[in-house]
Amino acid sequence: MLNYAVKRLGLSVAIVSLAMFLLFCMIYLVPGDPASVALGPRATEAMKEAMRVRMGLDQPVWVQFWNFFTGAWTGDLGEEVLSGRPVLDVVLEQLPYTLVLIAGGISWSVALGIPLGCWAAINRGSFADRLVGILSVAVIAVPSFVVAIYALLIFAVTLQWLPAIGAGEPGDVGDQLVHLILPSLAVGLGWVGYIARMVRASMLEVLEASHIRTARAFGLPERLITYRYALTIAILPTITLLGIGIGQMLSSAVFAEIVFARPGVGKLVYDAILTRNFPLVTGAVLVTTVIFVLLNLIADLIVGALDPRVRSSF
């Protein structure tokens, strides 16, 4: 397992480095002079020149890349334009809100998707199975910002069961959880559908496997067979799918944070783009990439822990 984890970690480092390279290319190739953008239209030529030197733009490309690369790996993402604070500090301040939101989305999708998919597979062909099938497609088809807006209108505005905006009182966990319900539902609802379909399909496949027939031929209780022998295998592809799906959830989080006026990295990027605060945009994207790669790593490690075949194939 350790061997597997180390190799998988190496792969993650490589992916993040590649992302940094691509991000650097993007900044470098985007038309316009970063120094002029940073200083605004009323800057003099001398000021721009000084800024270029300060930003290292007078150096050869590869030196610029190296500085960016080593800076990024050591946590130096530059300073944001408006207040001059380090970008990393600003992003990390907002990150917990987004992470909690994603965790909420995953909770919804796992807590509803796995039991529904499993239930549909066991009762294959029944009315319940077809209902789950139709509902899955429906929730997958609805974009998350639509879910966000309708959830807001129905549960917060009309019914007034749940709060409409914000992330709750700092320090009051109960209040924060109540504020999390609707935004995380917006992020996770589509994934309930994906996961239900995925679990149903892989559960049906596993239940046909000959080791399940063997387990039945030994008279093992049906519950043990379903949950310990079949579901453990059936959820493996789901965990990988979720790891990949976090990328999509991160983009849904942007909408959810805007609609519910929640603090978070999505809201931060949105505001940064509006104010042309480019170092902040770059930094936030980079941090988000690292989070995505990390969560993928965790998903793969979970699969490795559950599936001995994966462990030894590395």
Partner 1 sequence: MSTLSISGLNVHFSTEAGSLHALKDVTFDVPERRIVGIVGESGCGKSTLINAILGLLSDNGEVRSGQILFEGDQDLARLSRGQMQDLRGPRIATVFQDPMGALNPVLSVGRQMINIQYRSPQSRAAKAARAVEMLKLVRIPDAESALGRYPHQFSGGMKQRIAIAMALMMEPALLIADEPTTALDATLEVTTIELLKDLQATIGCSVMFISHHLGVIAELCDDVVVMYAGEVVERGTVRDVFRAPAHPYTRRLLECDPARQSRRTRVLPTIPGEIPDLRQRPRGCVFAPRCLERHAGCDTPQVEHALAGDHRARCNLAPARSPAAVPP
Q: Of 198, 240, 241, 245, nearest to 102 (Cα)?
A: 245
Size of the site for partner 1 (CB under 8 A): 23
Q: Does residue number 207 form part of the binding site for partner 1 (CB under 8 A)? A: no
Contacts by 291-296 with C-beta closer than 8 Å and gap 24+?
291/95, 291/99, 291/246, 291/250, 292/246, 292/247, 292/250, 293/12, 293/15, 293/16, 293/19, 294/12, 295/102, 295/243, 295/246, 296/12, 296/243, 296/244, 296/246
Residue 62 identity (one-letter amino acid): W
Contact between 2 and partner 1 per CB under 8 A: no
Q: Which residue, 217 or 274, is less far from partner 1 as judged by CB? A: 217
- Smallest gap from Cβ 302 to partner 1, in A, equals 13
Which 279-308 positions form the footprint of partner 1 (CB under 8 A)?
Answer: 306-308
309 binds partner 1 (CB under 8 A): yes
CA 2 to chain centre: 25
Rounded Cα gap, residues 187 and 192, in angstroms: 10
Part of the chain binding partner 1 (CB under 8 A), chosen from 23-31, 126-134, 178-186, 214-222? 214-222
Q: How far is the CB of 300 from partner 1 (least distance, A)?
A: 16
Residue number, 129 or 307, with CB nearest to partner 1: 307
- Rule CB under 8 A: say whether 56 interacts with partner 1: no
Q: Is 219 in the site for partner 1 (CB under 8 A)?
A: yes
Residues in the site for partner 1, rule: CB under 8 A? 209-211, 213-221, 224, 228-229, 232-233, 236, 306-309, 312
